[in-house]
Amino acid sequence: MADGILIAGLVMIFVSAEVILRGAVGIARQFDMPPLYTGIFVVAVLTVFPELFVTYRAATMGRPEMALGGIIGSNLIDLLLVMGLGALIHPMAAPPKVLFRDGGALLVGAVLLVIISLTGELTRQFGIVLLLASAAYVGLIAVTDWRRTPDHSVPTARALFRSEGEMPSLLGAFVLLVLGLIALALGAHLAVLGGIHLAREIGWSETTIGLTLIAAGLSSPKLLVTLTAAVRGQTSIAVGQILGACAFNLLLVLGLVAVIQPFAVPEQLRKFDVFLLAGASFILLPLIAMRWRLSRPRGVLLMIAYGCYLAFILVRQGLPLPVNL
């Protein structure tokens, strides 16, 4: 029963995330919003709405393990597994601007999360700092991509990528947006509720559920977009999307949730996983900076790294690994 609730919630999150983006992009097109602003304020921000809704719901239900575990786990899946799979399909090229700007924002978020974890609590004051950093990041994107062509602007390219095909009417787009938001709120509630009950049924900690199952569901929309972009050879979109989404998760999502519902940083996450995320962020950027592309061998290395982390989570949970050496 619990696994069914969790799966239903994650499926609703996946579907509603796409519906929300389609509705919001449709509204932006109806009002002739410039592609750059569509890419920043519509596509980039709404991409992290699944993380925002789930994190907020978990925090309000008194489940900080799932709230922060989902963010950390989702970022690790995006940075290691999704980026690695994308590179395996097509080497992931990234211009220096994307690496320094979006990667730099990711590092700022990772460092701030480490500082927060050392204090033991994500307070409203820290939330305000994260939101200010998020606003500075948005401003930096707008300034550096002003009047840039899609070939030199990831937000613009993402907006055009999302605008492909026939768009709904203004009324249809508005209906999609509203229905998507309602479905996402319900999906987030079901995912957290299902995760809580599943943890009790199978004897897993809520931290493990958040880092694995919840995180996988949150990363699934970005996985689809990344693989699609990699197949098309639009790798700068994929890299920019992943780095930007991970930065917004740490700055915007945690900032908003902290201002509304502060919570303590779970001890298990504070001792290891927070530092692992920071380490993965710092290691990934030099790998991409080598010739400004993530090659297939380095992509495989990232996937192996995530596999090792997943094995560590299972061992920490107390589950034996079926490995005979």
pLDDT tens, residue by residue, 144-161: 877 766 666 667 777 776
Across residues 93-116, what is the average pLDDT?
91
Cβ–Cβ < 8 Å for 309, 80: yes
Q: Please enumerate in sequence order all residues whose Cβ is within 8 A of that of 32, keeping only pairs 6 or more positions apart, or say none.
A: none
| Average pLDDT across the chain, whole number | 88
Name all domains of the chain by residue range, CATH numbers in brackets.
Answer: 2-317 (1.20.1420.30)
Q: Is 61 helix (H, G, I), strand (E, B) or coil?
A: coil
Q: What distance in Å separates the CA atoms of residue 188 and residue 259, rounded to the nearest whole number?
A: 19
pTM over 0.85: yes
For the cut 70, the answer to whether the pLDDT of residue 40 exceeds it is yes
Of the candidates 177, 163, 160, 155, the one whose C-alpha atom is nearest the C-alpha of residue 40 is 155
pLDDT of residue 320: 64
Give the count of beta carbons closer than 10 Å to the beta carbon of residue 38.
Answer: 25
Across residues 30-50, what is the average pLDDT?
84
| Beta strands per DSSP E along the chain | 92-93, 121-122, 263-264, 293-294
Q: Is 280 helix (H, G, I), strand (E, B) or coil?
A: helix
